[in-house]
Structure 1
Amino acid sequence: MALIGVFDSGVGGLSILDEALRQLPKHDYIYLADSANAPYGEKSSEWIASRSMELCQYLAKQGCDAIMVACNTATAEAIAHIRAKLSSIPIIGVEPGIKPAAMQSANSIVGVLATEATLKSEKFNALLATLPSNCLFIKQAGAGLVPLIEAGRANSEETLELLAQHLAPIQEAGADTIVLGCTHYPFLRKAIRKLLGDSINLIDTSDAVVRQLKRKLESQEGGVEKSSHGSVKFISSKNAENLLKMAQELIQSDLSKHRIDSALVSAFH
C-alpha cells in the first residue's frame, strides 16, 4: 500500500483526489490544501514555484511514495524544479487537456478556461505550439472563479454571472469544446451546462492524471494491499474543518469507506 500526497492551492485538487479514490481506493492519501494562499493563479511565477516546492518537500517528509501536484498553475510554474529536487519519487502534474480537446473538437474551435498564470506559462505555450495550427484555441482566464469555489459557492448566482462573462468570448467564437484548465473548474460543470447546454464538450484530465499515477506505482516494487480501503488525511494551511466539510460536499466517492483525519498546519500560514 502506497502513501500518496495530493497538493493544491485549495479545494480544486479534490477533483483529482476523487478520481484517485475511484481508481485506487486501497492506498493511503494525504490531501494538502494551501487555502491560506489560494488562489495561486494571480501570484508571481517565483512565488508559485517557491511555495509549491516547499509544500511538496513537506509531503515527501511525511513519507509519500508519490506526489500529485493537483494544481494546473503549480504544475506549469514548478513541476520541473520539483521533479529535479525530489527525484527519488514520482511527481505527477496536471496539464490542461488541449491535445485531446483538439482531437475531439468537430469544428476545430476550442475554448481554454484556465488561470492567468497557466495561460501565460512557458509550459502551456510550449504544449500549444506542438498542436495543429488549424485548431483555433480561445484562451480565457477565469479570474475570480477560484475564490467563489473555495467559498462553497460554485453554483451561486454570483458565480453564474461571472462565469457567463468569462465564457462569452468562447461562445462567440463558436467553440464546441471547452478545456477545464484548472482543477477547480470541474466543480463548475453544472453551472457551465446551465449556461451553454449539454451539447458543449467539456474536457478535464483527472482520469488521465490518475492513470499516469497508477502506471508509476505499478512500476515501483511492492504490491498493493487488496483487503480494505485506505485512509485519507486532509491538511489545510487555513481551516482543516472547512476543508473536510468541502471534501464531503464535493467528492462523489464514498468517504465513509476510508479512515478520515484532518489537521491544520500552522507552519504554512
Structure 2
Amino acid sequence: MKTIGVFDSGVGGLSVLRALLAEIPEAQFFYVADSAFAPYGERSAQAVVDRSQRMAAYLLQHHTVDALVVACNTATAMAVDELRRMYPHLPIVGVEPALKTAASLSRTGHIGVLATRGTLDSERFAQLRGRVEASTPRIHFSCQPCDGLADAIERADPSTTQLLCERYLQAVQALKEPAQPIDTLVLGCTHYPFAAPVLSELCGPGVALVETGLPVARRTRAVLGLDATGHRSADAAAGLRLFSTGDPAALTLAAQRWLCTSASASHLVC
C-alpha cells in the first residue's frame, strides 16, 4: 500500500484530499493541517518556507510517505522548489491556480482569479500567468487578493465568508471590460472550494468555478505509477489519519463535514 502525505496551512487542503481519496482509494493518507500558523497566504515567504519544511520533515520522518502533496497554493508558490531540492527522490506534487484549465473553458476570454496575496505576489504565479497569456492571447485575467477569506473559512465563520466573497467578487467585476463579462472564476486557494456554494450563488449560473483538486489527484496517482483499479475498504477512516498543529476538534469537524469520514484528528506539536 502506498502512503501519501498531504499538508496545508489548515483545513483548506481537505478539498484536495477529498479528490485524492476518490482517485486513489487504496492508499494510506496522512494529512497535516498547520492551523496554528494559518493562513500561509498572509505570512512572509520565509515563514512559509520554514513551516513547509517542518511539515515535510514530520511526514517523512514519522510516516515514511511515498509521495508528498503540498495542498496549498501559497506553499507551492513559495516552498515547493526548495522541498524538491531537499528531497530529490521523493515525488512532490504541488497545487497552482488552474489558469490553463480556466482558459480552455472560457468563452469570453475574461477570467476572474481569487487567491491569497502571497500566491498572487509570487514569481511562480507570474510565470504561470505569463505562459498562459502568451499561449492564449485572447485571455485576460482579473486577479483579486482575498485577505481574510481563507481565515474565515478556516474558522467556519459563514457571515464573514459571505461578506468577503461579496466584496472580492465585486472587486473582480470592477476590473472587467464591459464587452468581456467574466464567465470563469478560478478558486486559487484550496480553502475557497468550501465557499463554492456562496460564490456560485453570487456569480450566477453563467460563471464556471474552477478548482484544482482532481488534476492534483490524477497527477499524484501518475507519479506513483498507480492504475485506476484500486478500492477503498468499507471503513474510509481506516485509510486516513489527521493531524493539526492547532485545534484538532476543528479539523475533525471539518473532515466530518467535507469528507464524510469518522476519522478523528490528533494534536501535533511541530
TM over 0.5: same fold?
Answer: yes
* Post-superposition offset of 1:226: 5.0
Contact 1:72 1:183 in 2 (8 A): yes
Structure 2 equivalent of residue 246 of structure 1 = 254
- In structure 2, distance between residues paired with 1:193 and 1:141: 18
Question: Structure 1: which amino acid aligns with 2:203?
Answer: L
For structure 2, the 5+ residue unaligned runs are: none
- In structure 1, distance between residues paired with 2:49 and 2:232: 39
- In structure 1, distance between residues paired with 2:163 and 2:226: 46
Deviation readout 1:195-247 (Å, 9 max, x if unpaired): 11122111111100000001011169xx9975735521110001112211111
Structure 2 equivalent of residue 68 of structure 1 = 69
Please give the secondary structure, in 1, of the residue aligned with 2:187.
Answer: strand
Contact 1:2 1:224 in 2 (8 A): no
Query: For 1:167, which of 166, 169, 173 is the aligned residue?
Result: 169
Question: Structure 1: which amino acid aligns with 2:145?
Answer: A
C-alpha change, 1:134 and 1:158, in structure 2 (3 Å) is same
- In structure 2, distance between residues paired with 1:104 and 1:141: 22
- In structure 1, distance between residues paired with 2:83 and 2:17: 20
Structure 2 equivalent of residue 120 of structure 1 = 121
- In structure 1, distance between residues paired with 2:173 and 2:231: 47
- In structure 2, distance between residues paired with 1:144 and 1:207: 25
Q: Which moved more, 1:156-165 or 1:1-10?
A: 156-165
Kindly report which structure 2 residues correspond to 1:127-206, keeping only aligned pairs within 5 A, or say none. Answer: 127-131=128-132, 132-153=136-157, 156-172=158-174, 173=176, 174-206=181-213
Structure 1 equivalent of residue 57 of structure 2 = 57
Structure 1 equivalent of residue 261 of structure 2 = 255
Contact 1:57 1:86 in 2 (8 A): no
Please give the secondary structure, in 1, of the residue aligned with 2:251.
Answer: helix
- In structure 2, distance between residues paired with 1:144 and 1:225: 39
* Post-superposition offset of 1:261: 4.6
Structure 1 equivalent of residue 241 of structure 2 = 233
Question: Structure 2: which amino acid aligns with 1:182?
Answer: C
C-alpha change, 1:246 and 1:219, in structure 2 (3 Å) is closer
C-alpha change, 1:55 and 1:160, in structure 2 (3 Å) is same
Please give the secondary structure, in 2, of the residue aligned with 1:215.
Answer: helix
Deviation readout 1:35-87 (Å, 9 max, x if unpaired): 00100111111111121111111111121111100000000001011011112
Contact 2:25 2:232 in 1 (8 A): no
TM-score by length of 2: 0.91
Please give the secondary structure, in 2, of the residue aligned with 1:179.
Answer: strand
- In structure 2, distance between residues paired with 1:227 and 1:130: 38
For structure 1, the 5+ residue unaligned runs are: none
Percent of aligned positions that are identical: 38
Deviation readout 1:74-133 (Å, 9 max, x if unpaired): 000010110111122210000000011112111110111000000010001011111233
Q: Which moved more, 1:12-21 or 1:46-55?
A: 46-55
Whether 2:122 is the aligned partner of 1:90: answer no
- In structure 2, distance between residues paired with 1:54 and 1:80: 15
Whether 2:39 is the aligned partner of 1:39: answer yes
TM-score by length of 1: 0.91
- In structure 2, distance between residues paired with 1:122 and 1:219: 32
C-alpha change, 1:57 and 1:165, in structure 2 (3 Å) is same
- In structure 2, distance between residues paired with 1:141 and 1:74: 16
Question: Structure 1: which amino acid aligns with 2:55?
Answer: L
Across the two proteins, how many residue pairs are aligned to each other?
Answer: 258
Question: Structure 2: which amino acid aligns with 1:116?
Answer: R
